[in-house]
Each structure stands twice: as structure tokens, then as C-alpha cells.
Amino acid sequence: MTISVWRYSHLALAVSSFLLLALASITGVILAFEPVSQKIQPYRAANFDELTLAQTLPVLKKNYAEISELSVDANQFVQIKGSDADGKSLTVYVDPQTGKILGTPARQSEFFQWVTALHRSLFLHEAGRFFVGLTAFLLLLITVSGTMLILQRQRGVKRFFTRIVRDNFAQYYHVVLGRLSLVPILIVALSGTYLSLARFELIKTEKISPDIDFDAIQSRPERKLADFTVFQNTRLSEVQSIEFPFSEDPEDYYTLKLSDREMAVNQITGDILSEVRYPTAVLLTTLSLNLHTGRTSAVWAIILAVAAGNILFFIYSGFAITWKRRGNRVKNKYSADDSRFIILVGSENGSTFRFAQAIHQQLIRQGEKSFLTELNNYTVFPKAEYLIALTATYGLGDAPTNARRFATLVEKHPQPHPVRYSVLGFGSHAYPDFCKFAFEVNQLLAGQKWAVPLVDVHTINDKSPDDFSLWAEAWSQQADILITASSEHLKTPEHPLEALTVTGITQTAQTDGTFLIRLQPKHNLNVTSGDLLAIYPQNDHRERLYSIGVLDNELQLSVRLHPDGLGSGFLHRLTSGDTIQARIIDNGHFHFPQKAPVVVMISNGTGIAPFLGMISQNNPRTPCHLYCGFRQRASLEIYQRFLDESKSDRKLTDLHVAFSREDKKQYVSDLIARDADFIMEVLNTNGVLMICGSLAMQKDVLELLGTTCQTKLGKSLSVYQSHGQILMDCY
């Protein structure tokens, strides 16, 4: 079954039920507090679970002139109906051990009555109950389709609870909370559906009453209540209610309604006159009621409240995700038949459309006829001269849903004239198969007779405008039409900025121009080493990202000063006390792994920055090996003291440094090659490798690891990548 079938089912079910679901969830959250508020009343006997009827009934009989019924509610409060010595009728909670009156049962508060009625029937009687039942059933289907989507996203059952790659807030928490509340929501939906079916008698839940042979009733031997074997063997905790004999006539008997059966007991001899087990449907109804209402456990009631609250969040986040996707729908001014430029998009979550629109709008503004559509709409384009395919990659390097048919369509519809094509891949290095589908599209087009390559396939990591600008430059040169990356359409939604004060900056420019800058947030920020700091040097759309190391509650950046560098120049000009506005970007895939037995950090140049923070925060003393590369020995100087101290403090286990322009003129990859056995051992024992620095270094290291994994461990590197054992953040 394809991702789209589950996605559309999930969406269709959510759309058709969200109003009632929201109402049921809000009332559900409120109702969950009723059992909690009841459970704190002091009416439960201390050793309730151990008490038997043989211990309880004689005491109660002695204390009260007459008892007609004893009942035990979901809170395990024992209630009796009867009368006292003065003949005054009573309905009270009692201590089953002493018979002492503990309190009087209160009526359900009007507020909870009102909310319960709304939750059960929307004040619409049977019709309302039907819609509420239907909503519970739809919730069940939504939960199943949601689970299928998570399975597909996480690539299988085994990886269901592994790390989730963060795309945006709504999507990330939709999946994170979806996984956490899956079981409670499934239980709520199942039990709600079951209770509705039982309510409408689609499931038979009638109890069969005991059938008594009155002729066989004995009045000898007479026994005391405490000596009745059945009372000795029945605990109070199994009892729902006991009807007491109406008179002393042997034909009047005790009726015991227990959790799983009903019994009639001779009031003189203690013999069991009849015993009937409840049908499974009745037991399931009680179980469903307990699970759906949380009435038997305050902890479960709280879990239900949280789960119902999560449903409200899912409604919000689900619609936010859909809204974002729909916002990227295409509007064309020119037809496919008329257009000289054809822009084809493969996108699952819509962001690739933003880039496609940027190209499309710029072409239109320059008077060109451009047509933008999905890759799945590929057909013959009679006047096409240029084709640009922009596509994301999903799953195991798969096509997005709207690009699945592209390969078939390309074979089916050859273009009548030569068309110059260019492929732009959107992906993320957080995934093992970076931009794989874009490379497949490129390969496919390269095999077509009519297709003429214009520029090489380009890749864009994490929607980077800089990567896009490289492609735009190359394409513009070849096509002789200007496309820039600074278009309105590339603007991401505005984010709130944080004020950060400079507390220190190493002005002594090293030979390679590297300096450290420390920034203090005005208030406590949710930031972790490995997150990114986005700065806006000119207060415009131009954003520059730096990897953050958190040291002593401050953010430390390691920056290399580039001649005319927009970001590095801006930071280098700052002095202590200056304040800047910046944004923290959560980079969850590159945080220090909490559970790894050993971590190997590999960096070159300023890529060491997040590792400094991670080492500083390595309080559990996880074995940590740092391999770093610099040009000259002098480049290491600004880090040396910190690294030495961390080693003696055992926060850093080992330090290996390569200098590319001095000594042995080595690169960090040479150190990895030297220690290949150790690195393979780390991978083999579930250790984690973290790589930060230049893309060129990343490529060398990955190539090396790829071959070594294959030869030494007999496995492909992607196995370790997909298990989250290789974390990368290169630029």
C-alpha cells in the first residue's frame, strides 16, 4: 500500500470527524478529572484488597439493624443501604472492617453531569450517541492509518521508536506525540466503539440471572456467616454488589454480583444455590468502561486526560501540515502546450514548490512562458526548450508521492524536440540516501534521446538558499537568463529573534583567521550543543548559520574570518557588551547521543565548535574521542587549554590532531584510516560517529568508512547510518 493511500485516508478521516473529535477530546480531558477528584476522598479501607466477605459481612450485620444492599464502586468505596437501630434509613459509605460510617455518597456534580451528557450524546439523545460512537470508530481508523504512516516514515516496525528527523514543529510533534499516545488513544477508541456497539445492542450484553431450585433449598446445618466457605473465599474487591435476603425465610438468599459471575447463597447453610458466569460480552463492557473512563485508576485517568489533550494537538498540527502542503498549489499563467520553460516538481511537504515558484515567477517577470507542475503530470510539451526538475527524496531514497509515476511517463512520452534539462535535488544529510531520487531522475533524463544536459545535477541540503544560489548561478550562465536566489518566494516565514550579548571574543586572529566568540542569552534558552545559530548581519533575508557549542550556559561559536565574509566579518567586528539579534535553530539530529557507549567526534577547521560544547557537557564521562584537522599547529592554540583541561577532567578520552600544512601534512581522514580498526570496533559495539566540518572532509571520511565497513565488517555503511550511528553536520 503506498504512502498516499494511508495519508489520504488519514486526512479524510480527520477532516470528517474533527469537530466531534475536538468536542469529545475537550470533554474527555475534563471528565478524566472526575475519577481523580473522587479517588482523593477518604472512603477506601486501608487493607481493602485483603478483606473477605467472611470478615466483613458479620461486622456489618452486627452494626446495622437491616441491610438491603451492599455495593462496592469503582473507587473501592463500600456503600450500604439499610437502616440503623432507630429504624432510620441509611445510604452511607462504611468501613468494611469496623462498620463505622465514613460519609454519605454525594450526587455527581451538576457540572460533571452536564459534561458527561455532552460527551456521551451531545444532548441529542440516541442520535447524539450514534454520532459519538461513530466518532470513536473514526478515531480508531485514524489511529490505524496514523500508525501505518509512522511505520512508513520510520521504515519499519523495528525502527518505530528510533529518532525522528525534524522537518518542522507541527510535523515533528505530530509524530513524536503520536507515537507516545498511540496505545492510550487506541484503547480509548476501541473501548468507545465497543461501548457504543453495546449501547445499541449490536453486541448482546444481557446478564443471565441465576436459576434456583427452590425445592432443593436446605435449612440445615445452620452456620455462622463467618463460616460460609463461599464468603471465606470471596474478597470484597471482587464484589460489585450484594443483595441481602429480604427475610429470614430459607427461600430468601444472598445475591452476590461479582466481577465475573453472579451467585445465589443460602442465608442459613452458606450453600451456593446457583452460579452463573457472565458472558464475555458483559466482561468486555465492564473492561471497556473502566478503560474508557479511568474510573478504576487515577493514574490511568491522568494518562487518558493527556491522550485526549494530544488529540487536540493532533487536530491542530494535522491541519497545519495540510495547510502548508496546500499553500504550495500551483497556479499557471501559460499552458503546458505553449510554454518554453517547463518546471517539474517532486515534493511531499511542499517546501520544494517554494524554490520552483521562485524560478517560475522570475521567468514570467522576464516575459518568458513558464509552466510549473508536478513530476507526475509529465507529458509531451510541444514548445519546451528548457526543463527543470526539482525533487525531494523520501523513505529509502524514494520518490515523493507526486513523482512516483515520472519514470513510466518519461518512457511513454518522448519530447518531439531537443530539450535542455537540469535536475535539482532537495534532501537532507540527516538521511542515508541523500537526494537519491534526484540522481535517479537525472539518470533517467540522461538516457532520453531528446534530453540535452544543461548543468550538472545539483543538491540542496536542508533547503539551503546558498546551495540553491550555486545552482541558480550555474543555470543562469548556461541558459543566459538571470535567476537569483534572493527571490521573495524563498523567504521562509518570519521567526522570533533572541537578543544575545557578546561576553568574549578572541581578537587575536590566527593564521587561518579563526576566532571564538561567546554570546550570552538574555534569558534561559532551549539550546543544545550542535544546534545552529542563525544571524542576520544586514537585517535582511540574508541568514548565516553557525554551529553552537554550549559552554557554561553561554553559546560559543568558532568562526573563520573570510575576506568580505558577510557573517564572519559581522561577528569579527563585535566587541564585548554588544548585543545581536539571532535565531536558534534546533538541529536535533546532531545532538550528543545520550545512550551511546562511546562517541567518536570527527571535525576539520571550525567544525570543532559543537564538539567543544558537547565535551564540556559530558558530565556522565561517556568515552569520547576527538579527531580534528587544522591547517597549522597555530590553529589549535585557541582550543588547546580547553582540550587539555577536558582530558584531565576525563570529559575527553583521547585527542588526535592532523595538520594539513605542517608536520606530516595529514588530513583528518588519514587519522581515521590509521585508526580504522578502532573506528570499526566503535561501530560494531553500537558507538556513534559524529562528523562536523567541510563537505569535502565529510566526503573523504564517508568514502573511507564505506570501504572499511565493507571489508572489515562485511556491511554497508548505510546500515550504520540508518541506525543513527553516523551523525553529520557538514557545510
Q: Is 348 in the site for ligand FMN (CB under 6 A)?
A: yes
Q: Is 463 in the site for ligand FMN (CB under 6 A)?
A: yes
> 516 — phi, psi (to 5°)?
-110, 140
Q: How far is CA 157 from CA 153, 166, 518, in A?
A: 10, 19, 43
The rounded distance, in Å, linking the Cα atoms of 643 and 613 is 11
Q: Is 73 in the site for ligand FMN (CB under 6 A)?
A: no
Q: Is 440 in the site for ligand FMN (CB under 6 A)?
A: no
Which residue, 231 or 437, is less far from ligand FMN as judged by CB?
437
Query: What is the SS3 string spanning 405-454?
Result: CHHHHHHHCCCCCCEEEEEEEEECCCCCCCCHHHHHHHHHHHCCCCEEEC
Q: How far is the CB of 117 from ligand FMN (least distance, A)?
A: 42
Q: How far is CA 181 from CA 146, 166, 310, 704, in A?
A: 12, 19, 7, 42
Binding region for ligand FMN (CB under 6 A) out of 200-208, 350-358, 534-542, 653-661: 350-358
For 13-100, strand residue ranges (E) read: 66-72, 78-83, 89-94
Q: In what order do the strands lie in the sheet with 498-505?
A: 544-547, 532-535, 579-585, 498-505, 514-521, 554-560, 549-551
Q: Which of 349, 377, 478, 632 binds ligand FMN (CB under 6 A)?
A: 349
Which residue, 394 or 611, is less far from ligand FMN as judged by CB?
394
> 260 — phi, psi (to 5°)?
-125, -5
Beta-bridge partner residues of 558: 516
DSSP 3-state of 233: coil
Report which of 107, 186, 181, 108 is spatially closest to residue 143, judged by C-alpha positions.
186
Query: Could you please report the per-residue DSSP string of 603-663?
Result: EEGGGGHHHHHHHHT-TT---EEEEEEESSGGGGHHHHHHHHHHHHTTS--EEEEEESSST
The rounded distance, in Å, linking the Cα atoms of 660 and 409 is 50
Binding region for ligand FMN (CB under 6 A) out of 93-101, 389-397, 619-627, 716-724: 389-397
- 500 and 579 in contact (C-beta within 8 Å)? yes
Q: Is 28 in the site for ligand FMN (CB under 6 A)?
A: no
Which residue, 401 or 708, is less far from ligand FMN as judged by CB?
401
Q: How far is the CB of 165 from ligand FMN (least distance, A)?
A: 6
One-letter identity of residue 416? P
Q: How far is the CB of 325 from ligand FMN (least distance, A)?
A: 8
Q: How far is the CB of 727 from ligand FMN (least distance, A)?
A: 15
Which residue, 371 or 394, is less far from ligand FMN as judged by CB?
394
Q: Is 350 in the site for ligand FMN (CB under 6 A)?
A: yes
Q: How far is the CB of 201 from ligand FMN (least distance, A)?
A: 44
Q: Is 392 in the site for ligand FMN (CB under 6 A)?
A: yes
Q: Is 317 in the site for ligand FMN (CB under 6 A)?
A: no
Residue sitting closest to ligand FMN (CB): 427
Q: How far is the CB of 533 from ligand FMN (least distance, A)?
A: 21
Indicate the angle between helix axes 280-293 and 182-199, nearest 10 degrees: 130
DSSP 3-state of 375: helix
> Measured at the alpha carbon of residue 535, what is the angle toward residues 529 and 538, in degrees to the nearest 5?
170
Q: Is 435 in the site for ligand FMN (CB under 6 A)?
A: yes
Q: Is 536 in the site for ligand FMN (CB under 6 A)?
A: no
CB-based contacts of 654, cutoff 8 Å, min separation 6: 624, 625, 626, 647
Site string for ligand FMN, 138-177 (x = CB under 6 A): ---------------x-----------x-x----------
Site string for ligand FMN, 394-433 (x = CB under 6 A): x--x--x-------------------------xxx--x-x
Which residue, 352 or 603, is less far from ligand FMN as judged by CB?
352
Q: Is 434 in the site for ligand FMN (CB under 6 A)?
A: yes
Which residue, 139 or 430, is less far from ligand FMN as judged by CB?
430
- 429 and 461 in contact (C-beta within 8 Å)? yes
| Footprint on residues 548-587 left by ligand FMN (CB under 6 A) | none
Binding region for ligand FMN (CB under 6 A) out of 393-401, 553-561, 585-593, 637-645: 393-401
Q: How far is the CB of 130 from ligand FMN (least distance, A)?
A: 38
Cα-Cα-Cα-Cα torsion 449, 454, 456, 462, nearest 10 degrees, comes to: -110
Binding region for ligand FMN (CB under 6 A) out of 19-27, 69-77, 345-353, 550-558: 345-353
Q: Is 231 in the site for ligand FMN (CB under 6 A)?
A: no
Q: How far is the CB of 434 from ligand FMN (least distance, A)?
A: 4
Size of site (CB under 6 A) for ligand FMN: 23
Q: How far is the CB of 424 from ligand FMN (least distance, A)?
A: 11
Which residue, 167 or 681, is less far from ligand FMN as judged by CB?
167
Residue 191: Cβ within 10 Å count:
21
Three cell numbers, residue 372:
510549473
Q: How far is the CB of 295 from ligand FMN (least distance, A)?
A: 39
Residue 684: Cβ within 10 Å count:
14
Beta-bridge partner residues of 398: 394
Q: How far is the CB of 713 from ligand FMN (least distance, A)?
A: 23
C-beta contacts of 200-204 below 8 A and 24+ residues apart: 200/129, 200/130, 200/133, 203/281, 203/284, 203/285, 204/279, 204/281
Which residue, 44 or 163, is less far from ligand FMN as judged by CB?
163
Q: Is 122 in the site for ligand FMN (CB under 6 A)?
A: no
- 259 and 284 in contact (C-beta within 8 Å)? no
Which residue, 73 or 167, is less far from ligand FMN as judged by CB?
167
Q: How far is the CB of 4 from ligand FMN (least distance, A)?
A: 13
Q: Is 721 in the site for ligand FMN (CB under 6 A)?
A: no
Q: Which residues bind ligand FMN (CB under 6 A)?
A: 153, 165, 167, 347-352, 392-394, 397, 400, 426-428, 431, 433-436, 463
